[in-house]
Structure 1
């Protein structure tokens, strides 16, 4: 499986980091070794002093496809979860200043926390959108709703499949809302869709 991530898909998040909103989806990949499943701890990496959480809604691809057209895009995913794109912000900042790629800030071992997947139809609100949030030590630190995304789920499927063949089991991180922030050793993070807890992760 591969992990495909979408950057700056919420305008307010782009603004909080003083980044421009991209004209097309900003994509980057994480290897399968980045996966961190629900309930497992994350050990604070030695190469960063500024580790940040970024909560996101995840899509799980349910069948293989490429060059997918809009009318069929929703056929390629039927489960969602919540995840955390852990980011070494100081490392990312240094890479960006040098004009270098920033995989070492985002694609390291266990940098992609992935919650338990549930049927998408079970978690949509009355408007068809998905509410999601992250708590740190019991206090809400990030909240989002998928209707605020710049590029929708279906449009992401269409765009991504132009460049990467989607395989069953692949996971798409669809972007984070505003409110990203640091974690420290001893913190406990919990991710929710609606009021349903789907991800627990402690920082060791």
Structure 2
């Protein structure tokens, strides 16, 4: 049968779901900037500024099965690739103008993610007042572990969050230290965009962001969720 596309469409990007053979199809990836106070300070900012967002393409996802080690290539153009460990919220029911108190009704589950950042390129864009896309929205910049359904994730609002590189501590905090908590983030986000099933929200990273190089292995977690392990390979 003839195709009605000029070339074969790319396969749907998806993430494993813990305890299930079904997978979570990804629609959009939203990321929250500077959402832990100590990270905001290390980036040169202070205070509880209004939340702001940037996006990554769905195919930035590198989905890593529980107990496996994912691999990402060291990206082009950068000499300062930073790790940012994050709690990821997976949206199961969409909506617009969702109130913080109702946000939990829209959440399918939670996962551990990494927002990989070409920091030197991001900083150059900041200085020029230009968009961050080249620093944030590149291939393989959104590794993620299995999604745990919300009912099985425990007290995620107060869970420990951490990252080690080659076994040494790099980032260590608590989800309870989010400047804008999960409900508030969804409220602000859904006022600007109509959230859809399949959306992922990377909720921000705590202090301790730093560079990784080819050969480094990152191991990160949020209490109650499968650990995410990712190795940085040489440039593709």
TM-score under structure 2 normalisation? 0.81
Partner Cα distance (2:219, 2:158) in 1: 21
- Residue-by-residue CA offset, 1:92-145 (whole Å, 9 max, x unaligned): 1111111111111000111111111113344434x9512121111122211121
After TM superposition, the structure 1 = structure 2 runs for residues 148-163 of structure 1, keeping only pairs within 5 Å, are 148-163=177-192
Partner Cα distance (2:173, 2:63) in 1: 22
Aligned with residue 230 of structure 2, among 187, 190, 201: 201
- Residue-by-residue CA offset, 1:134-161 (whole Å, 9 max, x unaligned): 1111222111211101101001111100
- Match of 1:58? 88
- Match of 1:133? 162
Aligned residues: 203
**Secondary structure of the structure 1 residue equivalent to 2:72:** coil
Partner Cα distance (2:195, 2:180) in 1: 18
Q: 1:46 to 1:155 in 2, by over 3 A?
A: same
Structure of higher RCO (CA pairs closer than 8 Å, 6+ residues apart): 1
The answer to whether the Cα contact below 8 Å between 2:93 and 2:108 also exists between their aligned partners in 1 is: no
Unpaired runs of at least 5, structure 1:
none
Is residue 19 from structure 1 mapped to residue 45 from structure 2 by the alignment? yes
The answer to whether the Cα contact below 8 Å between 1:143 and 1:177 also exists between their aligned partners in 2 is: yes
The answer to whether the Cα contact below 8 Å between 2:153 and 2:224 also exists between their aligned partners in 1 is: no
Partner Cα distance (2:200, 2:230) in 1: 19
Q: 1:21 to 1:107 in 2, by over 3 A?
A: farther
Partner Cα distance (1:76, 1:85) in 2: 23
Is residue 192 from structure 1 mapped to residue 218 from structure 2 by the alignment? no
Is residue 68 from structure 1 mapped to residue 89 from structure 2 by the alignment? no
The answer to whether the Cα contact below 8 Å between 1:123 and 1:130 also exists between their aligned partners in 2 is: no
- Match of 1:175? 204
**Secondary structure of the structure 2 residue equivalent to 1:147:** helix
Unpaired runs of at least 5, structure 2:
1-26
Higher deviation after alignment, 63-72 or 182-191? 63-72
Q: Choose 1 or 2 for highest CA Rg.
A: 2
Per the TM alignment, residue 69 of structure 1 is displaced from its structure 2 partner at its CA by: 2.0
C-alpha RMSD of the superposition:
1.7
TM-score under structure 1 normalisation? 0.93
The answer to whether the Cα contact below 8 Å between 1:10 and 1:149 also exists between their aligned partners in 2 is: yes
